[in-house]
Amino acid sequence: MLNPEQVTALLDWIGKRPLRRGPLYRAFFATLCYAGLRPEEAVALHVSDAALPETGWCEFIVHSARPEVGSQWTDSGEPHDDRDLKGRAEGDTRTVPIHPDLVAFLREVIVQYKLKPTDVLFPGEFGGRLAGSVYRRVWDKAREAVLQPHEYESPAGKRVYDCRHTCLTAWLNRGIPPAQVAEWAGNSVPVLLATYARCVVGQRDNYLKQIYDVRYVGEAE
């Protein structure tokens, strides 16, 4: 699992890429690392899915996903397929908080690309959706440039999807109730706990203090 310092360094490196699309890729990966979206949910976002203030927090309204399934498996012949959210009823949505740093990244992208409310939030290089082959390549280059060789060879953040894992683990480690994390993440609580229970660290002392403070029935005064 990536730590906060590694995430910051990776996003900084991506944002400063010599190509002009660096800020867009940074905002895309920050959406996974700070808001816990799945990659296929992030590529499906439109500008209107978030009313971005100049500063402070706001929210995404996540309503669809566009996973890559191969052009031979879609009616349109495109590599992406429009689908409802995983684990949700047809047409259902979920609300996810947007960290103030991510708000700033997104506002920069909208201004730089002159995006309209109906536009895709993370457009591909030639329009349309951001391709998985492209953002996976950018992520791999960032890991290779930023991480130590042994870290790059390790599983830490190796897949783009691991950015989401990093976010959800951070939320749990900060004491946010699992039910709330599950709601933001679009998971059930049992699935969330089965996946992330062993990743939660740093709470032992708090738990022991809570146990110590319990007064049992019949305890001597």
Would you place residue 191 in the very low, low, confident or very high pLDDT band (cuts 50, 70, 90)? confident
Residue 45 has pLDDT above 80, yes or no: yes
How far is Cα 117 from Cα 110, in angstroms, rounded to an integer?
Answer: 9
- Cβ contact 180:189 at 8 Å: no
Residue 39 has pLDDT above 90, yes or no: yes
Domain ranges of the chain: 4-160
Q: In the chain, pLDDT over 90 holds for what percent of residues?
A: 57
191 vs 109, higher pLDDT: 109
Q: What is the pLDDT of residue 77?
A: 43
Q: What is the pLDDT of residue 203?
A: 52
Q: Give me the count of residues in the chain.
A: 221
Residue 71 has pLDDT above 50, yes or no: no
What average pLDDT does the segment 174-192 reach?
90
Fold of 4-160: hpI Integrase; Chain A (1.10.443)
How far is Cα 167 from Cα 55, in angstroms, rounded to an integer?
Answer: 21
Measure the CA angle with vertex 176, ends 9 and 216; round to 5°. Answer: 135
pTM of the model: 0.81
What average pLDDT does the segment 131-157 reach?
94
Residue 96 has pLDDT above 50, yes or no: yes
How far is Cα 90 from Cα 25, in angstroms, rounded to an integer?
Answer: 30
Would you place residue 81 in the very low, low, confident or very high pLDDT band (cuts 50, 70, 90)? low
175 vs 199, higher pLDDT: 175
Q: Which two tokens stand for residue 128?
A: 């349309």
Q: What is the pLDDT of residue 209?
A: 60
Would you place residue 76 in the very low, low, confident or very high pLDDT band (cuts 50, 70, 90)? very low
